Amino acid sequence: MIYFNPMPKTIEELKKFYRKLSREHHPDIGGSVEVMKLINREYTELFNELKDIHMYSNGVKYHKETKETPEQLIELMDRLNKAQKWVDLAENDFEEAEYMAQVMDDSGLFYKLWQCCRQAVTKYLKALIVFKCKIPPITKNITKLIEICEKSAKINLAYINKQCERLTNDQYQEYEFCDSNDASEQVLKDTERIRYFVINYLDEFLIGKNFEMFFIEK
């Protein structure tokens, strides 16, 4: 084995190792296609050897039949890495908005900050859609993206609906020449809540907590 070294001893260790390697080498986040193919091949080979070998928290091994297939985790990580690409783009927009808030001495900056946050939110929402549906929609309309998330991707956005609605509301255009710190703080808080929701939603699958749910929902 080239990449799985030291050799995992249980299926849990193997899957954790694979998640790490996928995050480092997946082509969607800057890795090599050929390297990822080799990692997938090694993972599949080791999976078939270790699939029924588990370990209790006290370090004692036990055997239990696994119905899962190696292709399932490969597909899940492929989706997560494609989603991460959109998250990274959103993070760039959000960082720019945070910087604008720090130098808010120009009356025209609030409108630019709001636009940056809107751009970030569209990309965070597209990350969810790409993760669940594969194909990113060609739209920057937040309302449309929310509809796709809830109806097509079946993701409950109740936690962030109010924030998305405020960022979508065109009333913010009235603040094009506004230098209100309160207004910029509200926009950033709304975007931060959406950011927190999306990143945590994806992380739940990354650490394996919602692994079975992903395939049931499909």
Which helix (H) or strand (E) segment is 173 a member of? none
How much is the average pLDDT of 15-23?
Answer: 92
pLDDT at residue 168, rounded to an integer: 85
Query: Which CATH number is associated with domain 81-207?
Result: 1.20.120.330
pLDDT at residue 172, rounded to an integer: 58
- Which residue ranges make up each domain of the chain? 11-67, 81-207
How much is the average pLDDT of 61-83?
Answer: 88
Question: What are the CA-CA distances from residue 129 to residues 135, 143, 162, 198, 201 (Å)?
Answer: 7, 13, 19, 11, 12
Between CA 136 and CA 17, with CA 87 as vertex, the angle to 5 degrees is 105
What confidence category does residue 91 fall into, taking pLDDT thresholds of 50, 70 and 90? very high
How much is the average pLDDT of 42-55?
Answer: 91
CA R_g for the chain: 21
How much is the average pLDDT of 113-121?
Answer: 93
